[in-house]
Amino acid sequence: MQQFEAFIAAHKPVAPSFHPHYEEALYAMLEAGGKRFRPALLLAVVSAYNELLLDGANHGAYAIELLHTYSLIHDDLPAMDDADLRRGHKTLHKRYDEVTAILVGDALNTYAFEVLSNAPFSDATRVKLIRSLSHNGGVGGMVLGQAIDCHFENQPLTLEQIKILHINKTGKLIACALEMGAIIAGQKELEQPIYDFGIKVGLLFQIQDDILDVTQSDEEAGKTTNNDEDKNSFVTLLGLEKAIEEANALASEIEEQLQSFDENLQGKLSPILNAYINRHK
């Protein structure tokens, strides 16, 4: 991931002006780091089939990290989760002000597609990548999940409804990262299976986040925890013990499905997934 970090540093969102902190704020949450889980998945799929495409694939990896970072900035706003800490640093609305946080989120969202439009691929490939990222990160994905999450605070949902909520809010952007990797690598027959696999990975990721929200401190998690009491999380519905059982079952299913992919893909994905599959234990 060192090359990816270097790519980010070389492609900072730049907007020189007389604003006292806008340009600094644009890069603050990107510079704060994070798991880089979604970019790592995308790059792993590409690497499994054609490492010569990795330089170009950094555009796709960066685009998905930009979109994800914008979503975190907006998710932390007072109107949503009202969080104080993200990636081990003050959230943008705390560090600067709420207007800056809203506008930086807007800027990173649109910059993601500018970066993707400059990827050194055919027009047809760029359009497929833009379609995947915009759909899964927007109307039919993450934004839909956020809308459901916020609207139904203090209104208990069923387990099936919570799964739909979190498949959209978290799962689809992770599935999108894997699908985009298959698109870049020219593995058309892999696009749907790897996307479906990513939905399961994303759902597990969210169950784990819900578990860690009640078992870790702010410092351990690097973000505000114990913040889901009014939300429809797996822990609030099932309780901690049952949520862990749900995570264990899904982790086993993911590990089994991973074995169905070819050896090259397994070899690239396993080190990344193994670091996360059992992080709730």
Q: Mean pLDDT, to the nearest integer, of 173-186?
A: 98
Query: pTM of the entire structure?
Result: 0.94
C-beta separation of 273 from 201 below 8 A: yes
Please state, rounded to an integer, the average pLDDT across all residues of the chain.
93
Lowest mean pLDDT among 84-93, 112-121, 132-141: 84-93
**pLDDT-based confidence at residue 1 (cuts at 50, 70, 90):** confident
Predicted pLDDT of residue 276: 87
Is the pLDDT reported for residue 228 higher than 80?
A: no
Q: Mean pLDDT, to the nearest integer, of 141-160?
A: 94
Lowest mean pLDDT among 115-119, 165-169, 215-219, 223-227: 223-227
Question: Can you give the residue ranges of every domain in the chain?
Answer: 2-277
pLDDT tens figures, 63-100: 999 999 999 999 999 999 899 999 889 999 999 999 99
Does the structural domain 2-277 have CATH classification 3.60.70.12?
Answer: no
Q: Measured between alpha carbons, how far is residue 139 from residues 79, 105, 172, 178, 227 in Å?
A: 20, 16, 11, 19, 26
Region of residue 216 (left: phi > 0; alpha: psi -120 to 50; beta: else): beta
Is the pLDDT reported for residue 15 higher than 90?
A: no
CA 162, CA 235: separation in Å to the nearest integer? 11
Of 155, 169, 162, which Cα lies nearest the Cα of 242?
A: 162
C-beta separation of 62 from 56 below 8 A: no
**pLDDT-based confidence at residue 33 (cuts at 50, 70, 90):** confident
Most confident of 235-239, 264-268, 275-279: 264-268
